[in-house]
Amino acid sequence: MNEKRLTRVEDGRMVAGVCAGLAKYFGVDPTLVRIIFILLTIFAAGGVLIYLVLWLLMPMEQA
């Protein structure tokens, strides 16, 4: 069975693959997720912290 997993992706990543992995998991465009992280960083000052935590917790996608 093909189960849906939240992973960092190698293909289409810019830094660590977190935004691309989230976009793939939720079925949205990676640019939208990147914009959300930028807005969180500017207005809520939590975007960088959330990104770093996800970078540490999300496993890398298996090839």
Q: Per-residue pLDDT tens for 12-54?
A: 778 888 999 999 999 999 999 999 888 988 988 788 888 889 8
Q: Give pLDDT, residue 37.
A: 87
Q: Give pLDDT, residue 1.
A: 58
Q: Give pLDDT, residue 57.
A: 92
Q: Residue 28: which residues within 8 A CB-CB, separation 6 or more?
A: none
Q: Give pLDDT, residue 50.
A: 86
Q: Give pLDDT, residue 2.
A: 72
> Distance between the two ends of the chain, CA-based, in angstroms?
17
Is pTM, for the whole model, over 0.85? no
Local structure of residue 8 (DSSP, 8 states): B
